[in-house]
Structure 1
Amino acid sequence: MNENYENQLLGTEPEIVSEKIFLNLVRLAQVYRKTLNSSNDSFELSPNELGLMMIMYLDPSVNTANQIVKVLGTTKGLASRNIDNLSKKGLLVTNTDEKDRRVVRLTLCSKAKEICEEIRRKNMALYGKALGNIDLKDAFMALEILQKMVDNIE
């Protein structure tokens, strides 16, 4: 950590430090969203549709509407609309669960996976740039701290 920055924070209330962390996370999210939107221009998908696809691509265990709602923190209505739109575009298939007929399983089609792979390649460049001159050990420490913060508020 920059020594000047550390001295600035010395004696600062923990809430102020938390606020600075959250503000920086918001800035990172804005850059990520901007990159995602520019990558998405050729696919004609809404940011919500693309987000839903990326979540399913990166974590295949997320394969029901309820899981999508929970992970994305969205409403059932918005998730349902996005699922319908992606189905109509031939990017997502819905199937009734064989064991529990009340559950509808979602599966990305090969075209959706190709789109996600391309988006992920572009995102990797952003991730590399974000880590820039940060030592891998420090990056892991930051990840561990962020995970603890998420655990604390969930």
Structure 2
Amino acid sequence: MLTEPNDMSLAARDKARRDLLALQKRIAAMHQLRNEMNHALARVSGNNLDLALTQKKNLRHLSSEYDKLSREVRCLPPMDATAVLEDEYNYILTIGNILETTRELKKKAKIEATARQGIIDGLVQFYDGLRDELAHQDAEMRQALAKCEGRDANPEA
């Protein structure tokens, strides 16, 4: 049961604040790693699917950070902790599945030619979507920066 902040001692409030700051720092570091992975994966195309396998080490590191995160979310209410963990878990699971599928294709697993092409098409579609998402985020960032600088984000208009 969570106690109200007014009922907490000064030491308990300081500990809660430190725990939340550590949690925020861990999440920020994980998102930085996710961004690095996404940018690396965005370079993958149908011609170089093996390039995705270079992210296996980063995925292992992210999984290790997730394990640490799962111990640190205790400072949050259960539903908030679940939401934080679910988001990170889904990312790790998705990228893990993508890398495992790519690895199986590389191993020349016994996959019917039609199915193999369908899998490759699905992977390419994933990477195309990732590139589109990153381009959209980049455009939003440029607009936000331009707005902060007090200039029009779209000078051609």
Q: Which has the higher contact order (CA 8 A, sep 6+)?
A: 2
TM-score (norm 2): 0.29
- By percentage of residues, which structure has more strand? 1
